[in-house]
Structure 1
Amino acid sequence: MQAIHYRYSESELKAILSTLEIIVDTREQKNQHVLDYFHKKKVSLKIRGMKTCDYSAMIPKNLEMGLTRDIYLTAGVERKNGVDELVESIKDRTRFENEL
């Protein structure tokens, strides 16, 4: 449980979320169509190495809104190229747990 909880108005939430950046893992392959989509929609993104997922997000610090540090979301997306890759990754329990 977190010790601090903020409540924001709808307009404040929109302002904060408008700064959200997608993080793309440097090891992600064959994802040009995803990157093209982000660029087309003018989604801010950063390419960085990540340990456990292919995509995640962060909200940069925003002193005007009281965010004194970058906020990194703990959730991530592990993209699979198809059902075969998905089945292979969960068939081997160790590999599955490592990807989580």
Structure 2
Amino acid sequence: MKKVEEVKASVAGLSKLYGHRMRLGLMGILIVNDWVDFVTLRDALKLTDGSLAGHIKALTKAGQIEVEKRFVGDKPRTSYRATPDGRAAFERHLSELEDFLKIMEN
């Protein structure tokens, strides 16, 4: 086992925004899909409406996702997708995480 002083790894490149596992999961879903509606996200992540809304608010405020509100028949439907900046930031975060894990394995 390596001593802590021997490990030359840094987590400084990781985004704090994705530090919460639900935001990581939310962005993961939005990266591989185009538009995803609120109910689908809520059910996939097994979150309450309020919890999902809080994570969406944080990601929207940071410019990571965009919102589309429309009516389908008489019912409102809110959908989300990753912005180009959000995609780039998430991919950087995953790359930094992969690099960190590779260093820790060696």
TM-score (normalizing by structure 2): 0.23
Which structure has more relative contact order (CA 8 Å, sep 6+)? It is 2
Structure having the higher helix fraction is 2
TM-score by length of structure 1 reads 0.24
